[in-house]
Chain A
Amino acid sequence: MKLELGRIKIHDVQFGPETKVEKGVLYVNKEEIEKLVLEDERLIGAQVELARPGESVRIAPVKDVLEPRVKVSGGGGIFPGMINKVKEVGSGRTHALVGAAVVTCGKIVGFQEGIIDMSGPAAAYTPFSGTNNVCVVIEPQEGLETHDYEAAGRMAGLKVASYVGEAGRNVEPDEVVVYETKPLQEQIAQYPDLPKVGYIHMLQSQGLLHDTYYYGVDAKQFIPTFMYPTEIMDGAIISGNCVAPCDKVTTFHHLNNPVIEDLYKRHGKDVNFIGVILTNENVFLADKERSSDMVAKLAEFMGLDGVLITEEGYGNPDTDLMMNCKKVSQKGIDVVLITDEFPGRDGKSQSLADAVNEADALVSCGQGNLIIEFPPMEKIIGTLDYVETMIGGYEGSLRPDGSIEAELQIIIASTIANGYNRLAARGY
């Protein structure tokens, strides 16, 4: 499967009468976006605001972040099973507005998602301080059930990202990157002397506000399967998770998975990147057993020499992570884990809630318990009303002048457990 990803670089975002891209500037029609979001009867308010890198702007509470993309050729449409019909994606050509993002925000439930600062010391912890953001602040109908509101918010983000992405359809990209993974036997034969490496991609799938979707299917309903990495770049996986700001894998991160990106960079040089094994994170131990058995079986069947594993979330998923690690290792395959840590504020407690002897190689993406300071910002997109009930916030977090003291985990993607950040732990 071969995908040409046309990267259209965006360095500014502005309102305009027509949604289009011109000379690297993304213009968006505010009214059209608001109308699109309000087509959903579950939502009664939609307000579009822009946030650019370096501005004195704080966005909160954030639900999801998405990169606008459009499928130009090759069959299927972006976000299959959600926005477009279920049809295999990952081939042909896709255009991405790189440097632009759609951010959905607004109150979701009583406890809330996190913060994006566009400037100041907290901005360095999130990649979305560096993107030109089209923020959609949504407001639900009074009395809407939690499940319905989550779904409405999720769909609003997908709709707006697809709408904005459409502006890139006929724009000549600044660069075109080609990604290709061949069917198993051909892929092994292409680089017979290089180690065969796979990526085990664990999706959050525990329940309400903890879900991820694969071609429109709730990930807890599938059994582990093989994916060509380029399918993921076309939006075959989307996020419905909004409980852990720091390490949630937003839809943006699915589209721009750094593990896949880096494995492709080394593909044919020092590794032979065979593909992705997709799996879930379950609540019932029997489901964990079945899924991890299947992951190990697939890894063995594909003839892998080594795998990287990423998880999403803390606690329960650590058990899935360790079961995958143990069972894949027992097949004689080398395993490296990638995760973030919650070792308490002094860093002295156990980082993960579970461990096995086979887990002897781990890349850390930082620890979420660190306390940091947020200076006041001139403009707030959304509201600061919920800072103290956000994950990472606490009583007294928000001061009268608008400054905040909170744990690092309140910032969107600050310790994201696939490495799309700058935090790490190093051994010396």
Chain B
Amino acid sequence: MALLITNNDKAKKFCMDCRKEVEVIYLADGTYLDVLLRTRDYVHRGYRLLTHPLCGSVKPNQTPYRSVLLEKQSAREENFRSVELIENSIDAARKFMRNRGTPRWNERTREDFKTVDLSFLTVYEQRNYV
């Protein structure tokens, strides 16, 4: 079963209504970086990444929202690539945040960022990912 880690309520709703079964960890007050760090915890527990942790070209210090889909895999399978990707992504996110923090966006802008973040996930319903 897939696992969604997100701080975006629109992504949470999409996965809960999705015709595929997805477990959701919703970090209501979490930041972009919090989502990546929680993702790393699960990668180290043997989950592999289904989506790239930095998806979108909106930089990590611009959008407050992040959603990552993962999947539990059997103990026999290695997930080095997932470990490498999440570590690189955390490094990249911290680099941008050191440069400048995420602005305090107004409500309307936050909604737009949520909509864009959600749009990265919607192909999940149409395709098989094994």
Question: Within 8 Å of chain A (Cβ to Cβ): is B76?
Answer: no
Shortest CB–CB separation between residue B18 and chain A, in angstroms? 14
B55 is contacted by which of A206, A345, A350 (Cβ under 8 Å)? A206
Do A285 and B119 touch across chains, with their CB atoms under 8 A apart? no
**Which chain A residues border B62 with CB–CB below 8 Å?**
111, 391
A284/B127 contact (C-beta < 8 A), A207-B120, A389-B103 known: yes
List residues of A (376-428) whose CB comes within 8 Å of B's CBs: 388-389, 391, 394-395
Measured CB to CB, the nearest residue on chain B to A389 is B109
Do A210 and B127 touch across chains, with their CB atoms under 8 A apart? no
A284/B50 contact (C-beta < 8 A), A207-B56, A344-B99 known: yes
How far, in whole Å, are A283 and B54 apart by their CA atoms in the complex?
9
Question: Within 8 Å of chain B (Cβ to Cβ): is A220?
Answer: yes
18 contacts between A and B (CB under 8 A): A110-B106, A110-B108, A110-B111, A111-B112, A146-B112, A206-B120, A207-B119, A243-B57, A284-B69, A285-B52, A285-B85, A286-B129, A312-B57, A314-B57, A317-B57, A350-B91, A354-B85, A389-B109
A283/B58 contact (C-beta < 8 A), A209-B116, A344-B95, A354-B88 known: no
Do A111 and B109 touch across chains, with their CB atoms under 8 A apart? yes
Do B57 and A313 touch across chains, with their CB atoms under 8 A apart? yes
Measured CB to CB, the nearest residue on chain B to A315 is B54
Measured CB to CB, the nearest residue on chain A to B117 is A207
When each residue 70-94 of chain B gets 1 if its CB lies under 8 Å from chain A and 0 otherwise, what string results?
Answer: 0000000000010001001101100
Shortest CB–CB separation between residue A31 and chain B, in angstroms? 33
**Which chain A residues border B92 with CB–CB below 8 Å?**
315, 350, 353
Do B57 and A283 touch across chains, with their CB atoms under 8 A apart? no
Shortest CB–CB separation between residue B60 and chain A, in angstroms? 8
Question: Within 8 Å of chain A (Cβ to Cβ): is B51?
Answer: yes
When each residue 247-260 of chain A gets 1 if its CB lies under 8 Å from chain B and 0 otherwise, what string results?
Answer: 00000000000000
Among B57, B69, B98: residue with most chain A CB under 10 A: B57
**Which chain B residues border A220 with CB–CB below 8 Å?**
123
Do B50 and A285 touch across chains, with their CB atoms under 8 A apart? yes
**Which chain B residues border A315 with CB–CB below 8 Å?**
52, 54-57, 59-60, 89, 92
Do A319 and B99 touch across chains, with their CB atoms under 8 A apart? no
Number of chain B interface residues as a range: 35 or more
Question: Within 8 Å of chain B (Cβ to Cβ): is A158?
Answer: no
How far, in whole Å, are A345 and B96 apart by their CA atoms in the complex?
9
B residues with a Cβ closer than 8 A to A are 49-52, 54-60, 62-63, 69, 81, 85, 88-89, 91-92, 95-96, 98-100, 103, 105-106, 108-113, 115-116, 119-124, 127, 129-130
Measured CB to CB, the nearest residue on chain B to A111 is B109
Do A244 and B88 touch across chains, with their CB atoms under 8 A apart? no
A319/B85 contact (C-beta < 8 A), A204-B57, A285-B51, A391-B58 known: yes
**Which chain B residues border A181 with CB–CB below 8 Å?**
none
**Which chain A residues border B116 with CB–CB below 8 Å?**
109, 146, 207-210, 243
Do B119 and A394 touch across chains, with their CB atoms under 8 A apart? no
Shortest CB–CB separation between residue A2 and chain B, in angstroms? 36
Question: Within 8 Å of chain B (Cβ to Cβ): is A357?
Answer: no
Shortest CB–CB separation between residue B31 and chain A, in angstroms? 17
Do B95 and A110 touch across chains, with their CB atoms under 8 A apart? no
**Which chain B residues border A206 with CB–CB below 8 Å?**
55-57, 119-120
How far, in whole Å, are A110 and B117 apart by their CA atoms in the complex?
14
How far, in whole Å, are A206 and B118 apart by their CA atoms in the complex?
11
A284/B111 contact (C-beta < 8 A), A206-B56, A354-B88 known: no
How far, in whole Å, are A206 and B119 apart by their CA atoms in the complex?
8
How far, in whole Å, are A82 and B115 apart by their CA atoms in the complex?
24
Do A284 and B51 touch across chains, with their CB atoms under 8 A apart? yes
List residues of A (343-357) whose CB comes within 8 Å of B's CBs: 344-345, 349-350, 353-354
Q: Which 8 A-B pairs have the closest CB atoms?
A: A110-B109, A207-B119, A208-B119, A315-B54, A313-B57, A109-B112, A110-B112, A316-B52
Question: Within 8 Å of chain B (Cβ to Cβ): is A369?
Answer: yes
Do B88 and A284 touch across chains, with their CB atoms under 8 A apart? no
**Which chain B residues border A208 with CB–CB below 8 Å?**
115-116, 119
B57 is contacted by which of A109, A244, A319, A354 (Cβ under 8 Å)? A244
Shortest CB–CB separation between residue B71 and chain A, in angstroms? 10
Do B54 and A316 touch across chains, with their CB atoms under 8 A apart? yes
How far, in whole Å, are A122 and B110 apart by their CA atoms in the complex?
30
Do A243 and B56 touch across chains, with their CB atoms under 8 A apart? yes
Do A207 and B122 touch across chains, with their CB atoms under 8 A apart? yes
When each residue 267-288 of chain A gets 1 if its CB lies under 8 Å from chain B and 0 otherwise, what string results?
Answer: 0000000000000000111111
A110/B113 contact (C-beta < 8 A), A315-B55, A391-B59 known: yes
Shortest CB–CB separation between residue A143 and chain B, in angstroms? 11
**Which chain B residues border A369 with CB–CB below 8 Å?**
99
Shortest CB–CB separation between residue A283 and chain B, in angstroms? 4
Given A284-B129, A342-B96, A353-B89: 5 more A-B contacts, CB < 8 Å: A147-B115, A208-B116, A283-B55, A312-B57, A344-B99
Measured CB to CB, the nearest residue on chain A to B60 is A315
Shortest CB–CB separation between residue B62 and chain A, in angstroms? 6
